[in-house]
Amino acid sequence: MKHRFNIIIICFVLIITASCGKDVSQEFVSYNNNPLNDTVWATVLKDSDPCNTMIGDITPASVEATIDLSENRVECKPGNTDSLKITFNKGIFTSLENGVATPVAPTGTAVVQVLRIRTSGDLIRTMRPTQTGHTLTELGTGLFIRVMKDGKELSIKSGENYQINLIETGAEPKANMQRYFGSESIPAPAHNVYDPNFTWKIDTDISNINYFWDNNKPVGYALVVNKLRWVTAQRPTATASSNSRSRVTVYFSPSFTNKTTAVYAVIVGQKTVVKLDFDYASRSFRTDLLPYGFAYRLVSISKIGKDFYLGDGSIANLTTPSVLKLNPQKVNEQKLHAYLDDL
């Protein structure tokens, strides 16, 4: 009997010891008067949560160019760069007047505002990952473009179009790119405001985008489009078969919650970005959309109080469902942008 009692005591001690050595994601260090103490996850996120408002902190300002609406054909280069040229024909704009699309008189000037989307880091900054439902795409290039006149945002008249010539320095244009536009909330928010309803949608014209050439060599994309705001060149990148995809799960120490943290997976070597969803029950982030056979960077950005935290992990070759712990470190905005530029 005494022997049995000793065995029970030993087993109890072993259980307690194992629980003390449990994963660090369950441990918590208290910080005096510090927002890191908030370890509560939300079942439903709000637009005002830091994970959503941080877009306003890390999205760059747009660049501008002024155009003369009276010209028959006007070209502009917002940012004064030769890698971007936008061409509008006369009389193609409308504005919303009392809920009705009304032609804009071709007089006076308008301001063209542009934010380039060139890298995986830009997709993360703007919180516009390259996924539409369960379909993943690869970005070639893109931009946010808005045209303003007298304080009103303009649109393109039905049946009209305009042209955007885009060069990505150091990279030849890729084949089989198609036009994808942003589908937004109504009314559409500013480009640096989180949009819970945003998704990419392929153009009704599914033909491939043409190049423009220099010395008999393709040097950039020539997009002929009929919409403003979010305009990109993309192509499908992942197989449609769910059997060829894997679940990837990311977790953190308790100070990093779904209210403060956004997590992304980036395919190494191409501009494909997936946003991981939070799983409240397990206090983790996960996605089932990542195709096997690719290398990935796992990126987390957290805004806790006034501070940013950056987490980084990698998968050399995704062959099985994977679980990773990220250990975010406090960074200033300069280091955060340098990291995103390098993705």
Q: What is the pLDDT along the chain (343 residues), one digit of tens a residue?
A: 444 444 443 343 333 333 333 333 445 555 666 778 899 999 999 999 999 999 999 999 999 999 999 999 999 999 999 899 999 999 999 998 888 999 999 999 999 999 999 999 999 999 999 998 888 999 999 999 999 999 999 999 999 999 999 998 778 899 999 999 999 999 999 999 999 999 999 999 999 999 999 888 899 999 999 999 999 999 998 565 667 899 999 999 999 999 999 999 999 999 999 999 999 999 999 999 999 999 999 999 999 999 999 999 999 999 999 999 999 999 999 999 999 999 9
Give the pLDDT confidence score for residue 260 in this predicted structure.
98
Residue 322: predicted pLDDT? 97
Parts of the chain belonging to CATH 2.60.220? 60-236
Return the pLDDT at 13: 35
Residue 316's alpha-carbon distances to 44, 54, 83, 296, 342, in angstroms, are: 33, 29, 34, 7, 17
Mean pLDDT, rounded, of the chain: 90
State the pLDDT at residue 34.
76
Query: Can you give the pLDDT at residue 144?
Result: 98
pLDDT of residue 341: 96
Considering only CA atoms, which of 182, 140, 172, 161 is closest in space to residue 270?
140
Superfamily of domain 35-55+240-341: Immunoglobulins (2.60.40.10)
Cα 240 to Cα 24, 136, 318, distances in angstroms: 36, 9, 17
End-to-end CA distance of the chain: 65
- The H or E element spanning position 7 is helix 2-20
Q: Is 340 helix (H, G, I), strand (E, B) or coil?
A: helix
Q: Where in the chain is the domain with CATH 2.60.40.10?
A: 35-55+240-341
pLDDT, position 14: 39
Topology of 60-236 in CATH? Chondroitinase Ac; Chain A, domain 3 (2.60.220)
The answer to whether the beta carbons of residues 190 and 146 sit under 8 Å apart is no
Residue 42 DSSP label:
P
pTM of the complete model: 0.88
